[in-house]
Structure 1
Amino acid sequence: MGPTSVADDVRRAAVELFAAQGYANTAVQQIVEAAGVTKGAMYHYFESKDELLFGIYDRLLSMQKSRMDDIIARGGQTDDVVRAVCVDVVETSIDSLREGTVFFRSAHMLSAPRQLEVTRRRREYHDAFAVLLERGQAEGLYRTDIPSAVLIAHFFSDTHYLPQWYSPDGPETTTVVAGQLTELFLRSIRV
């Protein structure tokens, strides 16, 4: 078993257990047993259960931020770039539905320094998204009667709410739902 597979096995086991029984009700011993590793192996990669919960979110947000940066770097018409970013964040949120569910249900249990770091990282992502929207506003594409912070909250509240209603077993595919939510958002902000 390679080093990354140990960390991945621990992370996967933690997500499953946190999703099934909650973060507070999950013991480190349960995680290592489900992952098939020793406590020592887990603590080599994660210094605490707190770091494990933070790591679940950190991995998701880092991936989404990297993908957003790539989409922006490719360039193109502002509306097309915003659409691509929106579709991507919905698709990746659905692909990581369990991780998102665990995080949003348990984030308040993170240590204070970790909560501050989560806030900083989310703000970084939202700031990059705001730059795109403001570019569209400057080009006369998007409405300016509502502050961009409200527009951003509107879109991301839909995304963060996905675990409450979306089921991968339902009739709508990830791509269809991502397109629908994106279209609803773009129609609501266009001039």
Structure 2
Amino acid sequence: MNKADTARDRQERRHLSTDQRRRDIVATAADLFDRNGYVNTSMQDIARAAGIAKPTLYHYFTSKDEILCRIHEEFIDQLLSRHENRLAARLRPDQLVLEVMADILELMETHRGHVRVFFENHRELPEREQAEIRLKRDRYQTMVEETFAAGTAEGLFRDVDPRTAALALFGMCNWAYQWYRKDGTMRTRDLAYVFWDYLVHGVGAGRP
């Protein structure tokens, strides 16, 4: 980045609202945590990358822990909101399963840092916030389990244990960020269709 780009970025940041500035800081921190690790990233590093002074950063966030909490909240709240909207639209259970997978995988591309932090840095959250995020995670898992149960009731899925099916889904999607690359041959939506086909239809060629 040249000096002109840096000056332009700083000028644009001056016109951000408080909420926009906070979101910008969180996104910047998530990227740093993704590249360098949460433990290895300091508030000074975040301030420098965000183009603000360290005292200014403390005006928006009192600690690195608070930023970590915000990253977790943004990630799980997006998943919950998207799924609730689709439930309101009355999508079929098999369609909902596809969209659940797509949501997790698409966030690898749009919020990669959030994804890594959510799955790798849960234990670094303060105890109270850790409990709050766990409640939201459990709520989301229950919603996915209910989707599988509804699919079985409607004859779309065979009789499977909803909890095990949900955990299988998460097992396929949650760790894909460790190997997925944007410059690969598939977009995240394409990958969601592949994973969905494996989960719903299996990979067997049929009995001989």
TM range (shorter): 0.7 to 0.9
Structure 1 residues 92 and 13: CA distance shift in structure 2, 3 A: closer
Aligned residue type for 2:47: V
- Letter matched to residue 21 of structure 2: V
TM-score with structure 2 setting the length? 0.81
Structure with higher helix content: 1
**C-alpha deviation, 1:77, in angstroms:** 3.0
SS of match in other structure, 1:17: helix
Is the CA contact 2:146–2:162 (under 8 Å) kept in the aligned structure 1?
no
Matched, 1:183 2:201: no
Q: 1:32·1:38 contact (CA, 8 Å) conserved in 2?
A: yes
Structure 2 match to 1:58: 73
Partner SS state of residue 78, structure 2: helix
Deviation at residue 155 of structure 1 after TM alignment? 0.4
Identity %: 29
Q: Any stretches of 5+ residues in structure 2 without a counterpart?
A: 1-13, 203-208
Aligned mates of 1:147, 1:63 — CA distance in 2: 26
> TM-score, normalised to structure 1's length?
0.88
Cα deviation per residue 1:42-85 (whole Å; 9 max; x = unaligned)?
33432321121121121111112111111111114332333333
> Could you list the runs of 4 or more consecutive aligned residues of structure 1 that deviate by over 3 angstroms after TM superposition?
38-41
Q: Which runs of 5+ in 1 are unaligned?
A: none
Change (3 A) 1:119 1:32: same
What are the superposed Cα offsets for residues 3-48 of structure 1, whole Å, 9 maximum, x if unpaired? 1232122112211221222111111111112112234433343232
For 1:105 and 1:84, the matched residues in 2 are separated by 23
Give the Cα separation in 1 of the matches to 2:146 and 2:26: 33
Confirm or deny that 1:82 pairs with 2:97.
yes
Corresponding residue for residue 136 of structure 1: 151
What's the C-alpha RMSD, in Å, of the aligned pairs? 1.9
The answer on 1:167 being equivalent to 2:181 is yes
